[in-house]
Amino acid sequence: MNIGILTGGGDCPGLNAVIRGAVHAGSRRYGHTFVGLRRGWKGLLERETIPLSQESTYGILGQGGTILGSSRTNPYSRDGGPQAAVDAIRDLGLDAVIAIGGEDTLGVANKLHGDFQAPVIGVPKTIDNDLSGTDYSFGFWTCVQIGVAAIDRLQTTAASHDRVLVVEVMGRHAGWIALECGRASGADCVLIPEVAMSVDEVCAVLKARRSAGQHHAVVVVSEGVEFTSHKVETELDEFGHVQLAERGVGEFLATSIEQTMDWDCRAVVLGHVQRGGTPLAYDRSLGTRMGVQAAKMVQEGKFGRMASLRGEQVTDVPLSEAVGRLRTVPPAEYEDARVFFGA
């Protein structure tokens, strides 16, 4: 079979491991051939391809980013886009498309399969770890490790200057990155989009810490956190998402804490640093397993489904299960993390 592979949405450490895994497993086990579609669904619509073979994927396992490029192109936001995507699959001679992406990219895959029975298979990709249908996405733990390493550094400079450091992390509308970065770095307060916390409540936590004789603190805030007194309009992308980083929630919180508590405060936005660079061994391994699974699913004709991690097992689930609703942090899990807030 001739298989197209694309990577869509924000990049993520481990994408190249998936590409390599699928190409090597598909070529060696089943005699599949592969072609890369450049920059997500854009490459399919514009028929921009690159050759993909075992040779061209040597040495990419530990590379960050994606050798295919990525974009947030949505065929369903363009006139005739979905039909053009299906026509391109036929005209490029593709028997299957492996779409590696998050809820947006996989949402398109799910619709193309539902509307046209397009032969698509999904692989879950997101540093946000917010996809249903899988326990973890590759790239998440690399992103958390980068965050923790940064916070460890910020702890020492905060201590030297008796400051509060507010660290804004990515994650969109799910607080997994903030929760795990905060938990693993021993942050003094963590704010996530799923559980509302006012500036006064954050200050109460910090006051308790100060009363216990501590002169510095680290607060982790997820970019998707909302405060009633902080409203910023931003542009929407093709999938209708706001650019959360432009809202500057970390800066807002730092300024508010400083004003309320008369405590020197700085904001740091980790942003895209958390997405770049070499993947951890875990994410290389999970990405490789996901790629092998995707090649197998093509061989077995499991279209309209997504590779998935359930416990220790790689398996597959319907795409509709993955894109139906966001996997957010359960309040009880956040409650357990709160034990470590403040003093």
124/342 with CB nearer ligand F6P: 124
Q: Is 188 a catalytic residue?
A: no
Q: Candidates 85, 178, 244, 309: give the one binding ligand F6P (CB under 6 A).
A: 244
- Residue from the set 165, 170, 297, 329 that interacts with ligand F6P by CB under 6 A: 170
Q: Is 228 helix (H, G, I), strand (E, B) or coil?
A: coil
Residues 198-237: x/- map of binding to ligand F6P (CB under 6 A)? -------------------------x--------------
Contact between 99 and 6 under an 8 Å Cβ cutoff? The reply is yes
Name the residue type at position 164: V
What x-and-dash track marks residues 263-292 binding ligand F6P by CB under 6 A?
A: ------------x-----------------
Minimum Å gap between C-beta 322 and ligand F6P is 15
Residue nearest to ligand F6P (CB): 170
Is there binding between residue 305 and ligand F6P (CB under 6 A)?
A: no
Of the candidates 14, 75, 171, 287, which one interacts with ligand F6P according to CB under 6 A? 171
Residue range at the interface with ligand F6P (CB under 6 A); choices 107-115, 123-131, 192-200, 284-292: 123-131
**Ramachandran region, residue 111 (left: φ > 0; alpha: ψ -120 to 50; beta: rest):** alpha
**Residue selected from 118, 127, 150, 205 as contacting ligand F6P according to rule CB under 6 A:** 127
Contact call for residue 88 and ligand F6P (CB under 6 A): no
Question: Residue 208 or residue 326: which is nearer to ligand F6P going by CB?
Answer: 326
φ/ψ of 107, rounded to 5, equals -65, -40
103 touches ligand F6P by CB under 6 A: no
Q: How far is the CB of 111 from ligand F6P (least distance, A)?
A: 19
Residues 9-68 close enough to bind ligand F6P by CB under 6 A: 10
Q: How far apart are the first and last CA of the chain?
A: 60
Decide if residue 128 touches ligand F6P (CB under 6 A): yes
DSSP structure string for 143-198: HHHHHHHHHHHHHHHHHHTT-EEEEEE--TT--HHHHHHHHHHT-SEEE-TTS---
By CB under 6 A, residue 172 contacts ligand F6P: yes
CB-based contact 296:25 (threshold 8 Å): yes
CB atoms near residue 158 (< 10 Å): 23
Catalytic residue among 128, 130, 283, 316: 128
Nearer to ligand F6P, 194 or 223 (CB): 223
Gyration radius of the chain's alpha carbons: 21
- Toward ligand F6P, which CB reaches closer, 12 or 25? 12
Cβ–Cβ < 8 Å for 306, 298: no
If the CB atoms of residues 234 and 259 are measured against ligand F6P, the closer one turns out to be 234
**Least distance from ligand F6P to the Cβ atom of residue 122, Å:** 16
Number of CB atoms found within 10 A of residue 83's CB = 12
Which of 84, 1, 94, 11 is CA-nearest to residue 41? 84
- How many angstroms separate the CA atoms of 66 and 291, rounded? 14
Q: b/e per residue, 218-228, with b = 16+ CB within 10 A?
A: bbbbbbbbebe
Residues of the shown chain interacting with ligand F6P in the complex, contacts defined by CB under 6 A: 10, 102, 126-128, 170-172, 223, 244, 275
The catalytic residues are 128
